[in-house]
Chain A
């Protein structure tokens, strides 16, 4: 059995990373040339890692399933990236970012990792600016900031609502430079199908060329998994359609522990589902909560009238509105963390105050009218228009809002055909980000030696909840500044190993099993499409393992997922052939893995008899509906060991020690 050793360095928290770096073994430049590293995934985490490892001199082979690294899911991130720069002079510091992140994560993250993240955060911004990332600037030419949920300082750097795009294009350009030099060999439209473990060490992967179906063997001295999150286990989520768990799940099956699978972030501000033809949900950036006020009608009859289309939101008078976040959480108001905001929206809708058009009533308002008036008035003052008409003020204010959030408003209008400058947006929570993932130690190494996991694919630094603008930070921190150091410590022992042969029996075996499963799919004469099963799984996950969970529902979910899985293997139909481009075949493999992960996910949620962050067990809440954590019994990471069926998985616990931050009830009142 593998043992869990988090390898947290000794010493005071502020010195741990520096001391660790000073003691890490180095690989000299000449030797790096004889070492190969595989990076699976080219989002912010994998892209930055590939570029930096190549810069250091290693031979990098990078893989992604899209036609170009520039299209990784990271491209869609909207709001921004945190860094403790304190450019605003509002009291930010490494310690405060560290503190906010640990608290925001509901005291379920590893202190040492989070501190390191806060420390390197400032470097990320410097690095990206040097690469030509066009962050927003103020009129003095300096970098601009905004604030995000769960914090009281302004530390979020952004590029309109396209921050992820600009950061990813920065990574991609750094990669392009190395591709041009021949230091990165890029495998576009390639999917990792399995990891190859030789003598207990990760030594390569089996990949499928998605254009011609060829199964390829690739060897390396280390394998880095940067394949992103698994939110698509819910079918409907804000994730890109191809986002999947497969690479992480394959390494789990080969010995890597899977940690905290049940920790999922439900984002409070997404466009509500419109009907059964929907394929995915669209996020409206959290940054909108800086200026938008969230409300529902205070009277049930008004809510009913809205749902029936008899009343417009603009018809509801100020005093008849319930700004429930401002009411319940006066000090954070609309900027409470995502888990809190999501549950509060669900609570109002469950009570019958929702304003969605469908039978469920699932939507609340995100209203910009107050902000438009406030900014308009301010502009009128600046321009010396002392008797500006209401309409003029409206125009001036709309202009400011457009400059800040224009592309998001446009996106909303395209999808809903409603104009959010004139009428409040309708929003509802949706699955967004997974805090669980492959378990890694302080060096970001999994329980398989030589196999690393970075970015959203690992169980990460976020704990039970992720604050806004910290996933981008973690992805880039891992890829640019952490992994490139820590991997050297492992690779230093490999300088004399020489190239790894792909003729080893372990490669034969892995390749054969991949081929077998592909043959199965192509030849299984089932009757139902892959999506049919994915949608069914998603419904069970959302209804019983979603925003609120209880023992009964979780037990039912476990049984139901098992049934769907059994039926999947009998009834799935995959058209086409294995030796050509076949998107249905790609999906089939991914859904097969989701069907296993889904069950482990529900088991993990059942096991965790407390409410923390994004994990809300209905049995554990206060009378006002706030989450109740159980620090005595659950201050640990749940790391699962694969033993065949998900029901046989063995639970290991990594105790979490809080030496620098006192464990407190998280309150945003």
Chain B
């Protein structure tokens, strides 16, 4: 491991009591942060300091701290999950920062993700989009056919897997100027569109998910591609193209009937 150094930093952090009150930036100093620490460990140190001073620590979402649960969500120096490609905030390490640097830390900003407190936002809109069709309607009783009875070409399985690795973090929404949820929704639609298991209800799925996505207040996709750049899992814009095709053919076939 690289030799560790102690960093001294100025933090500008968004503080907001709840969804009703207005928030503002507060300034804090932290010192002697190891370059081997993760960004969230740096936040822990800040919080320990605030508690010692009798102040309210900064609330932020986190759990796995391995880049897989999708909980951690912060805007760092104007970028979702901070500098670095294909990483979440918990995977961001302090060696990416310089001694004496000022770091701006803010919550995701999107109408569909209201702030709950400080850096914590409400992403339950994603769950409601999922409940509208992000599944295969199969009984969970285990009376299904043998898993190898339908071979799936490796290329399809791999592509479906790539789409399925979306962690539902919401960085795509946060970094999109229209706060569109297309990348997230298209990843799920693609996963099932690529697998034989998902075919039967493909048309209904895409229509229902898109409908709820719009109702939840996410904006339109204008193909800027900011989402793909900030996505920690490298979910590709190809999925949006696939979803658009699925949507179009679903609309055409539902007009037929």
Please give the residue numbers on chain A whose beta carbons come within 8 Å of chain B beta carbons, in ascending order. 48, 51-52, 55, 66-73, 75-76, 85, 87, 120, 123-132, 134-143, 159-160, 162, 165-166, 169, 172-174, 176-177, 179-180, 186, 188, 211, 240-242, 274-275, 277-280, 282-283, 357, 411, 414-418, 426, 480-481, 529, 531, 573, 575-576, 580-584
Contact = CB atoms under 8 A, between A and B. Distances in A.
14 contacts: A75-B68, A85-B147, A126-B142, A131-B140, A137-B158, A140-B151, A142-B151, A176-B134, A186-B127, A241-B62, A277-B36, A282-B65, A414-B91, A576-B57
Given A141-B151, A240-B69, A583-B59, A573 B165 contact: no
Given A275-B36, A529-B48, A166 B161 contact: yes
B138 A130 contact: yes
B64 to A, nearest CB: 5
A313 to B, nearest CB: 13
B131 A176 contact: yes
Nearest to A182: B131
B142 A70 contact: no
Contacts of B191: 132, 134
Contact of A411 (B66, B130, B146, B154): B66
A138 B147 CA distance: 14
A66 B161 contact: no
A478 to B, nearest CB: 13
Nearest to B32: A277
Contact of A581 (B45, B116, B197): B116
Nearest to A414: B91
Contacts, number: 228
Nearest to B49: A529
A522 to B, nearest CB: 12
A70 to B, nearest CB: 6
Closest 8 CB pairs of A and B: A141-B151, A173-B135, A180-B131, A123-B142, A129-B147, A134-B161, A130-B144, A137-B157
B197 A130 contact: yes
A165 B71 CA distance: 14
B141 interface: yes
Contact of A73 (B36, B56, B61, B63): B63
Given A241-B65, A279-B41, A71 B71 contact: yes
A274 B69 contact: no
A143 B135 contact: no
A176 B40 CA distance: 30
A642 to B, nearest CB: 29
A415 B93 contact: yes
B53 to A, nearest CB: 10
Given A131-B135, A277-B41, A414-B87, 6 more contacts: A132-B160, A141-B151, A169-B164, A274-B4, A275-B34, A529-B52
A142 B144 contact: no
B69 to A, nearest CB: 4
Nearest to B139: A55
Given A55-B139, A68-B123, A581-B120, A73 B64 contact: yes
